Structure 1
């Protein structure tokens, strides 16, 4: 990212990605504008292909499984061209997701991301998501309360 970009400008880019792509479900123009074609996911979901197209496919699968999916950013830290965010996403499992048929259950999933931007576009991301908690909420994996 350009050295003259401020932490506030980086936060604004990340907020725009959250608002337009994740919450607005705009996997066309907004995704093209905000994510580099050669985007790299350092911790891809199973089956995620490369680049911006791979990210679009993963997000489309999440939206298909959770049509009301909504992300809330709880905290951010910025250093250089990177922004780390703690987020929670919520949604109702009304469509198939990663082979799991719809359960109608509402989930709340914590996620940490470290994103890197260059020239105003997301070029690299690493997401750590509470997948075990997600699967437990969907009823397809035991939860601590299940023993």
Structure 2
């Protein structure tokens, strides 16, 4: 645990990551500034490689599939060097995503993340996303009750 980092500093780092990387789609300087090279995703998407490069690849694929992707953080809890966030991301499916051809549909997806920071950088994350809801909105899964 990084004993010198305050909850407000962790919230500010997480907000910068959301604003600059997720919403600004900056996989260059912002990602390098905010994410450690040896970053670990505890719950990687299929095919996600290791480290910051693996995160950049998976985010680049999501930005290509949902070019207007936008994350809205709903709530956060901070303890020690970790922050848990409830977010909703939206986007229009205008590119291929995990083998699913573009549908033109707009999705709203709830996601929980548990992130850990060290020396001012994101070093570890675990994301739980409503994958079934996403696939239902894309028309891949039948609607409930269908």
TM range (shorter): over 0.9
> Pairwise CA RMSD of aligned residues?
0.8
Runs of 4+ more than 3 Å apart: none
SS in 1 for 2:17: helix
Q: What corresponds to 1:59 in structure 2?
A: 59
CA distance in 2, matches of 1:66, 1:145: 27
Unaligned runs of 5+ in 1: none
Helix, strand or coil for the counterpart of 1:144? coil
Alpha carbons 2:2, 2:80 under 8 Å: kept: no
Aligned residue pair count: 146
Q: Residue 134 of structure 1 corresponds to which residue in structure 2? A: 134
1:143 Cα offset (Å): 2.2
Aligned partners of 2:102, 2:35: CA distance in 1, in Å? 30
Contact 1:133 1:143 in 2 (8 A): no
Distance 1:31 1:102 in 2: 27
* Separation in 2, partners of 1:113, 1:143: 26
State the Cα distance separating 1:4 from its structure 2 match.
Answer: 2.1
CA distance in structure 2 between the aligned counterparts of 1:111 and 1:91, rounded to whole angstroms: 14
User: What are the equivalent positions in structure 2 for 1:16-55 lying under 5 Å apart?
Assistant: 16-55=16-55
CA–CA distance in 1 between the matches of 2:48 and 2:112?
A: 18
1:1-147 matches, cutoff 5 A? 2-146=2-146
